[in-house]
Amino acid sequence: MEKNNPLICAVDPGNTQSAYVLYDGTIFLDMGILQNRDLLYMMRLPHFDILAVEHVHSMGMKIGQTVIDTCMWYGRFIEAFVEATKDDEEKRYTLIPRREIKYNLCNSMKATDTNIKQALTDRFEPDLQPKKRPKGKLKGVVKDIWSAVAVAVTWYDTFNRHGMEGVANLNNTGA
């Protein structure tokens, strides 16, 4: 991995467990779904440069306790990462709103999870047959890990187009 290609930990947060992937812009080095307390421990001993978390934002509807718990957990992940990396200016975090993921991968704000999954499959495993499990770069991607992959890819696409300044602007998109 080159110095200018940071290792990212992308997280799809949940109220009790969260999905994550480690991605260097080329391959997915690790992935899984962990209990939040275990992912929190991982944030306290980071072996990655960037933490990118899918940002939960209001769409004008009432939210329930599970959404509030999810927000609490991803705040704890960020706090642990920031505390663990406070002496390293190269390490940072980014919140990525879902609408940025939809637009980046599908060029549409109306994209669904199915559309996003298909866009990722087309990109990384274009020869994959319908109803077959990925065997290449996406091997092991299941359930909420798809969302973590989408976060990672969106972060890298933004970084490659606009550098760190563009990534920083993801946090300022009115979310």
Q: Is residue 112 included in any domain, yes or no?
A: yes
The DSSP code for 129 is: P
Residue-level pLDDT, tens digit, the chain, 175 residues: 445 789 999 999 999 999 999 999 999 999 999 999 999 999 999 999 999 999 987 777 888 999 999 999 999 999 999 999 999 988 999 999 999 999 999 999 999 999 999 999 999 999 998 888 899 999 999 999 999 999 999 999 999 888 888 887 776 644 3
| Spatial separation of the C-alpha atoms in residues 138 and 28, rounded to whole Å | 8
**Would you state the pLDDT for residue 174?**
41
**Would you state the pLDDT for residue 22?**
98
Domain CATH number, residue 91? 3.30.420.10
First CA to last CA across the chain, in angstroms? 32
Q: Is residue 1 included in any domain, yes or no?
A: no
**Would you state the pLDDT for residue 172?**
60
**Residue (of 43, 50, 37, 42) closest to 9 by Cα position:** 50
Q: Is residue 46 included in any domain, yes or no?
A: yes
| Spatial separation of the C-alpha atoms in residues 80 and 21, rounded to whole Å | 18
Domain count, the chain: 1
Q: Is residue 152 included in any domain, yes or no?
A: yes
